[in-house]
C-alpha cells in the first residue's frame, strides 16, 4: 500500500506544465460546448422538440453539450482537440454571425427591452465551468488517460490543474458582498471580525480542512506535499483568504477611489513579489537554510501559508471584476441590459491588459509559479478569468443575435429565461451546478477519494479510465440536479 501511494505521488510530481496558448485553446473548447448547448436549445424550443420536464432527455442533452467537449479535450482527444475546435468554431460562431438585414438594430432593440439580470449569464457560465473542469481533473489526473502536461507544475510552469484554486477564488470574489467591520476600537473590531467568521460560515471551510487533513493522514492517502505542505489544504486557503480580506476591509475602504479593490490587489501582489525576491522564494522552494526541512509547523506548510498572499491578491482582483460587471461609472447598480456593450468593452480591455501583463511578467520577473502564487501567477489567473468571461459574454451576444433574427420581440423574454436558467429550470445542468457549487465540489472530492482507494488507477486502461471519469462527473451532476429540484442548498 505504501509503495502504491509513493508511486501515485511520483506520478503527479516533478512536472512542468504546458504552453499558455494550449491552455487557452483547451478552455475555449469547453466554452464552445456551452455555445452549442444554447444554440441548439433555441432551435429545439422553437420546434418544440426539447421537453424540459423529461429529466432523462434533458440530463443527457446537457451532459453531451456542456461537459463532453471538455471531458474529451482533457483526456482521450487531448492531442487532437485543435482539429476538432476548428469545425465547431465555424458551425457555432461564424455561420450564425453572417450579417442579415436589420440584425444589428434588432439586437440593440432586444438589449434595451430586457432588464439587467441579477447575475449575468456569462458569469454563471464561468463559475459553473470552473467547477466542471476542476471536478473532472481532480480524478482524471490519477489516470494515464490524462496528459501529464496538463497536471499541476511542480515549481514553475502552467498546467490546466494550476488554474483550479485561483479561479475558484476569483469567482468567489466577483459575487461576494462587501464586509463592513466596526473599526472604532480594537475590541469592537475583533468582535466584528469574530462575528463575520461565524456568520459567513468561514468556520465551515476550517472544519472541512480539518476533516480533509484527518482523512488523508488516517488512510495513508497520496499527498503532493509541495502543493500546499504537510498539513495545509485548499479549504484552509479559502478560509484564510476570507478572514484576511475581512480584516483588511477597513483599510481598503480608506482608499479614495472606486477602483479600490483593483488597487488593493496590485499592492498586495507587488509587496508579496518583493518579499519573494528578498528570500521568501528560496525559503518556499528549498526550506530553511536550503535544507528542504519540514520540521517546524511553518516550514512544513510553507507553500500553503505564503501562497495565501497571492490568493488574497487574486480575491481582490475578482472583487474588482465583479464591480466592473455589476456597477456603472457612477458606482451604482446596473439596471439596463444595454450596459452589455460597456461591460463587453471593459472585459475586452481587462483581457488584453492581463495577457500582456502576464507575458511581460514572465519575461521580466519570473515564470508562473502556482506553488508560490507569485505575481505572474496572479496576473495569469486574472487573464484566464477575464478572457473566459469575455468568451462567455460573446456567447451571450450570439444568443441575443439568434433570438433577434428568428423571434418576435414579445416572445424573447420567456425564451431568454428558458435558455439562461431561471429558477424554474430544474433540469438545467448549468443552473443546478451554480445553485449548489460548493456541494458539487465537495461530492467531487469525496468521489475522487473513493475511486482512488477502491481501484489502482495506475493500471487502468484508457477506455475504462474514460468511462470511470465520465460516470464520476455524471453522478455528481445528477445529484446537484435532484438537489435543485428539491430546493436543497448546502451553502
Q: What is the pLDDT, as a whole number, of residue 47?
A: 45
Domain count for the chain = 1
Per the structure block, which three cell numbers stand in for 246? 475581512
Going 470 to 473 to 477 to 479, the CA torsion angle's sign is positive
Q: Tell me if 71 sits within 8 A of 136, measured CB to CB.
A: yes
Q: Is residue 120 part of a domain?
A: yes
Burial 289-323 (b: 16+ CB within 10 A, else e): eeeeebeeeebbbbbbbbbbbbbbbbbbbbbbbbb
Specify the DSSP class assigned to residue 68: H
- Neighbour count for residue 88 (Cβ, 10 Å): 17
Q: Is residue 230 part of a domain?
A: yes
Q: Is residue 490 part of a domain?
A: no
Residue 222 φ then ψ, to 5° = -60, 145
Q: Is residue 491 part of a domain?
A: no
Helices 437-454 & 121-140 angle (0-180, nearest 10): 10
Q: What is the pLDDT, as a whole number, of residue 93?
A: 57
Cα distances (Å, whole numbers) of residue 417 to 129, 411, 412: 20, 11, 9
Residue with cell 530553511: 288
On the CB side of 47, CA atoms within 13 Å amount to 8
Residue with cell 492531442: 79
* Environment class of 38 (CB within 10 Å of its CB; exposed 0-12, middle 13-18, buried 19+): buried
- Distance between CA 207 and CA 213 in Å, rounded? 10
Q: What SS3 state is found at 115?
A: strand
Q: What is the pLDDT, as a whole number, of residue 51?
A: 47
3-class SS letters over 376-398: HHHHHHHHHHHHHHHHHHHHHHH
Q: Which helix (H) or strand (E) holds 193?
A: helix 186-199
| Domain assignment of residue 21, given as a range | 2-485
Q: Is residue 219 part of a domain?
A: yes
pLDDT tens for each residue of the chain, 491 residues long: 566 677 777 787 888 888 888 888 777 777 777 777 777 766 665 544 444 556 677 778 778 888 888 888 888 887 776 666 666 666 655 555 554 545 556 666 666 666 667 777 788 888 888 888 899 999 999 999 999 998 899 999 999 899 989 999 999 889 887 655 545 556 666 667 676 666 667 888 899 999 999 998 888 787 888 889 999 999 999 999 999 998 888 888 888 888 899 999 999 999 999 999 999 999 999 999 888 899 999 999 999 999 999 999 999 999 999 998 888 777 777 776 667 788 889 999 999 999 999 999 999 999 999 999 999 999 999 999 999 899 888 887 777 776 666 655 555 554 455 555 443 344 477 778 888 888 898 999 899 989 988 888 888 888 999 999 999 999 998 888 888 877 777 76
Q: Is residue 415 part of a domain?
A: yes
Specify the DSSP class assigned to residue 63: I
Q: Tell me if 251 sits within 8 A of 184, measured CB to CB.
A: no
What pTM was computed for the model?
0.90
Amino acid at each position: 500500500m505504501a509503495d502504491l501511494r509513493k508511486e501515485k505521488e511520483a506520478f503527479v510530481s516533478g512536472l512542468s506544465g504546458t504552453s499558455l496558448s494550449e491552455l487557452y485553446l483547451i478552455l475555449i473548447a469547453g466554452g464552445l460546448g456551452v455555445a452549442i448547448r444554447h444554440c441548439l436549445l433555441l432551435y429545439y424550443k422553437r420546434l418544440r422538440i426539447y421537453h424540459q420536464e423529461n429529466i432523462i432527455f434533458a440530463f443527457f442533452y446537457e451532459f453531451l453539450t456542456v461537459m463532453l467537449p471538455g471531458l474529451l479535450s482533457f483526456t482521450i482527444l487531448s492531442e487532437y482537440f485543435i482539429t476538432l475546435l476548428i469545425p465547431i468554431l465555424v458551425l457555432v460562431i461564424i455561420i450564425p454571425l453572417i450579417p442579415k438585414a436589420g440584425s444589428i438594430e434588432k439586437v440593440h432593440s432586444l438589449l434595451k427591452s430586457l432588464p439587467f439580470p441579477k447575475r449575468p449569464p456569462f458569469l454563471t457560465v464561468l463559475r459553473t465551468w470552473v467547477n466542471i473542469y476542476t471536478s473532472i481533473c481532480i480524478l482524471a489526473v490519477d489516470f494515464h488517460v490524462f496528459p501529464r502536461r496538463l497536471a499541476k507544475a511542480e515549481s514553475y510552469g502552467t498546467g490546466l490543474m494550476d488554474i483550479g484554486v485561483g479561479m475558484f477564488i476569483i469567482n468567489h470574489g466577483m459575487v461576494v458582498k462587501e464586509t463592513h467591520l466596526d473599526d472604532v476600537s480594537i475590541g469592537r473590531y475583533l468582535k466584528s471580525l469574530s462575528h463575520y467568521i461565524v456568520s459567513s460560515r468561514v468556520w465551515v471551510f476550517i472544519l472541512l480542512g480539518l476533516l480533509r487533513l484527518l482523512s488523508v493522514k488516517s488512510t495513508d492517502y497520496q499527498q503532493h506535499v509541495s502543493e500546499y505542505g504537510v498539513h495545509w489544504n485548499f479549504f484552509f486557503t479559502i478560509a484564510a483568504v476570507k478572514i484576511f480580506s475581512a480584516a483588511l476591509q477597513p483599510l481598503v475602504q480608506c482608499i479614495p477611489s472606486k477602483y479600490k479593490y483593483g488597487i488593493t490587489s496590485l499592492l498586495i501582489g507587488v509587496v508579496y513579489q518583493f518579499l519573494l525576491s528578498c528570500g521568501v522564494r528560496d525559503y518556499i522552494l528549498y526550506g530553511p537554510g536550503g535544507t528542504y526541512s519540514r520540521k517546524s509547523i511553518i516550514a512544513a506548510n510553507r507553500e500553503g501559508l505564503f501562497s495565501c498572499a497571492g490568493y488574497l491578491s487574486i480575491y481582490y482582483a475578482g472583487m474588482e471584476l465583479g464591480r466592473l460587471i455589476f456597477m456603472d461609472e457612477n458606482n451604482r447598480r446596473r439596471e439596463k441590459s444595454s450596459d452589455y456593450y460597456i461591460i463587453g468593452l471593459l472585459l475586452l480591455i481587462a483581457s488584453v491588459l492581463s495577457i500582456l501583463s502576464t507575458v511581460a511578467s514572465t519575461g521580466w520577473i519570473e515564470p508562473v509559479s502556482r506553488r508560490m502564487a507569485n505575481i505572474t501567477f496572479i496576473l495569469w489567473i486574472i487573464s484566464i478569468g477575464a478572457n473566459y468571461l469575455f468568451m462567455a459574454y460573446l456567447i451571450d451576444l450570439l444568443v441575443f443575435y439568434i433570438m433577434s433574427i428568428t423571434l418576435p420581440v414579445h416572445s424573447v423574454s420567456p425564451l431568454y429565461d428558458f435558455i439562461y436558467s431561471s429558477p424554474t429550470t430544474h433540469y438545467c445542468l448549468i443552473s443546478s451546478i451554480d445553485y449548489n457549487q460548493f456541494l458539487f465540489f465537495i461530492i467531487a472530492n469525496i468521489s475522487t477519494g473513493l475511486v482512488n482507494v477502491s481501484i489502482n488507477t495506475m493500471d487502468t486502461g484508457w477506455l475504462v479510465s474514460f468511462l470511470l471519469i465520465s460516470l464520476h462527473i455524471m453522478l455528481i451532476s445528477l445529484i446537484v440536479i435532484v438537489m435543485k429540484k428539491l430546493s436543497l442548498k448546502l451553502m
